Structure 1
Amino acid sequence: MGEASVAINPAAVAAKHKLATSFKRKGIVIALLSGLLYGFYTAFMTLGMSKGIWVDWYGENSGLSAFAVMYLLSAIGAATTDTCSALWAMSFAGIRGRFADFVRCIKTKPGMVMVAAAIVGGPLASTAYVVGLQLAGSLVVPIAALCPAVGAILGRFLFKQELNARMLFGIAICFGASFMIGSTSLDGAGGPNMMLGLFFGFLAAVCWGIEGCVCGYGTSMIDPEIGITIRQVTAGFSNLFILVPLFGFIAHVDAFGMVVQSFTDSEAMIWFVLAGLSAYLTFMYWYKGNAMCGAALGMSCNGTFSFWGPFCCWIVLGIAMGMEGWAMPPIAWAAAIIMVIGIFIISMNPMDLFKSNEEKA
């Protein structure tokens, strides 16, 4: 009985290789786009908080306490953006006929895990991020980008995930870059609240790192598009109905009335709508890019928001809108780029790129 032989068509192999390479490249572009959109989310949200009723709230004659100005307004800004993002997510789910899947999945155990993670990454991280932006400007963005490094450390202790020498080296690079950014406050260039702002940026990184670790479980069992909808809806509504009322109660302010004013101020709301869309697309493209080019490479590409965040703020707020305080010193730009390299090293072994090219050659 003769052995069957299968003829390999070189043209078919070459076509398959070309298709796989093209698919991976598209995934890289999409993942990079997620990092860019995160920058626009930051810029548009900050712009919204400088228009309309927000000018009165931040004014000297607003009658608001220092606590309300720093924490309540930041919570309202984050809640307005996250709620807009949640409405975008539900709208797209409805258009694609996935809303019933969203309702069904949110009741499951993985869905509840996503809800818990979103509460940490929504009200807590988003508000801390906004507080940091108000105190320290765009320098906070690269500090918040430490979340992959924080997530890698937390994953080692919470889930016994691998933390090898290469990842530790990448983490050291990221934290070294953060110290470079922090050093800009030593000469008073960042203002008196710089260090406090950077602290809140780091707090946001810790919360997002926790969210990333926990959501890894949820998204392994839920369709990414549904998982993103659960995340955005939970983050938006928990911020709106838990954190804002809490801060309003502490500050003895009518938080409900302020929320109504925020959502009905057309001058500011257009920017919050754009910020919410950018936030939704950031997560969408992040998950889609990960699926097309691999989670490690996708995470590295998304981590470029440590550069794109300050860049978009500088372009939109500093140049287009003529707002002062959004230019970064050269050392901070260098640190943002170094942090991108550190995130890349944490996420994957750079030598794997060369190995894959050699194997395909």
Structure 2
Amino acid sequence: MSKPIYLDAHSTTPVDDRVLEVMLPFFTEHFGNPASTTHEYGWAAESAVKRSRAIIAAAIGADPTEIAFTSGATEANNLAIKGVAEAHHSRGRHIVTVATEHNAVLDPCRYLESLGFEITILPVLSDGLVDLEKLEPALRDDTILVSVMAANNEIGVLQPITQIGQLCHDRGIFFHTDAAQAIGKIPLNVQQQNIDLMSLTAHKIYGPKGIGALYVRRRNPRVTIAPQLHGGGHERGMRSGTLAAPQIVGLAKAIELGVELMVEDNARMLALRDQLWQQIQALDGVSLNGHPTQRLAGNLNVSVAGVEGNALLMGLRSAMAISSGSACTSAKIEPSHVLQAMGVADELAFASVRFGIGRFNIATEIDQAAQAFASTVNHLRAG
């Protein structure tokens, strides 16, 4: 029996062979601790980490000293949000974010709210974009941080982070963006976009799981954050813990490939997405969630009227691997908070699926997926 077609690339991606190739020597031959400065095993690992830091920094217009390695985007988000709050609470205790953020942003904000911080959660328009006219008046004298993701993990919507960064910069407010879904897929430049903190991860762009990074601006203005892990003072005191050289090398290679192949990958995935959408929208009662064009090339999120959501996923699982939303919250029996924030009715939110087309999908798979989707929907509607 053949495996289902993998169309869940926003959840995670397979490691690209080119990424795996550069990682393998650091599991075996160059296995030293990058902090071991007295012998060649440590020097080799330290040199690889240094090269990787430079590659990642170049991809986003940063300086290598502004990159701190973490275990992934969730840790990077926590470090950014809680780190700024703890370091700058004397200046203000107000933070602004958006209702459609990943829970790795919303949950740290809720935690800070329990400690006495005030959190403003901005609504979004029906297409998932933040309303800039509501953002500007939400900024106050005691606002210390704004956190808005670059690309949404469920609906793929690309937020106007350049305009948001400018609004924050003009008011002396730190701007953080969760770029877990965006890095290597859209152009990012922390200088041009006035980004002060940026969270990154490897496993959404064909790199290994368990590694990410946080960009922390050190120039004009210098951002200070309080560490959330203590012990050893690694990463200039921001994140203690032995650096995972194989994963760091993999993160850098994945980002390097993403930037190099961005135009080619996006053009091909956009064509596949349009191919899929053209076929499934022929079904009555199928609606697109999110902005039709201002979204990731490989993202398609749809609601299907007249079917039960779990039955739809169960009916499709032998044909394709897709999800109903964030993999981090898929166990919860409740509609997507992203779709709810957009005003999608609960009945349709429950009956929504997310297709995540990736680098290795091909046109025949898309045709097979569309046929299986139509067959399953028609079967469920027939009762």
Structure with larger RCO (C-alpha < 8 A, sep 6+):
1
The two structures have a TM-score, normalised by structure 2, of 0.27
The two structures have a TM-score, normalised by structure 1, of 0.28
Name whichever structure is richer in strand by fraction.
Answer: 2
